[in-house]
């Protein structure tokens, strides 16, 4: 058996996955802009991971987690933001606020669920404003 064939299939599947993820983030960004949010950061990396979008809504800094799926067979996209993910996002957000000297600003966490079936021109977008409270040590206060 030629080992390169499974590897090539895996790489092609990975590219499609990343492409879907990036398309979902762009769709979420367009959606939030239409609501009046100002996007100030994309894919903000930290030691624990990444914050998909950082936005400003009025006088509030919003940390946005975008979850993109092809279907809801395995559950809605927002259901993937479990307690562990919430804790990591809280710590990433706190580090972001410290790094930019914004600890005095109010902040919240939104989740945008994007469902984009194969072949569909447009996705279905669900926005969960204030989706969860800061959790864990070093919580944010708003």
**Residue 26: φ, ψ to 5°:** -65, -40
Average pLDDT over residues 39-59: 92
| Domain-located, residue 42 | yes
Query: Tokens at residue 19, please?
Result: 């492409």
| Domain-located, residue 24 | yes
Rg (CA), the chain: 17
Q: What angle do CA 75, 70, 23 make, to 5 degrees?
A: 125
Residue 142: band (very low, low, confident or very high) from pLDDT cuts 50, 70, 90 = very low
Give pTM, 2 decimals.
Answer: 0.81
Q: What percent of the chain has pLDDT over 90?
A: 60
Range of the domain at 93: 4-132
| Domain-located, residue 138 | no
Domain count, the chain: 1
Query: Tokens at residue 111, please?
Result: 């989740």
| Domain-located, residue 38 | yes
């Amino acid at each position: 058996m030629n080992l390169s064939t499974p590897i090539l299939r895996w790489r092609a599947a990975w590219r499609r996955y990343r492409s879907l993820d990036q398309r979902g983030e762009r769709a979420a960004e367009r959606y939030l802009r239409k609501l009046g949010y100002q996007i100030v950061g994309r894919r903000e990396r930290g030691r624990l991971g990444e914050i998909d979008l950082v936005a400003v809504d009025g006088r509030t800094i919003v940390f946005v987690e975008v979850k993109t799926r092809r279907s809801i067979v395995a559950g809605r996209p927002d259901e993937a933001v479990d307690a562990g993910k919430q804790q990591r996002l809280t710590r990433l957000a706190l580090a972001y606020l410290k790094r930019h000297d914004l600890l005095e600003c109010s902040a919240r966490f939104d989740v945008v669920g994007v469902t984009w079936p194969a072949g569909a021109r447009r996705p279905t977008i669900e926005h969960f404003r204030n989706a969860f409270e800061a959790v864990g040590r070093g919580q944010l206060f708003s």
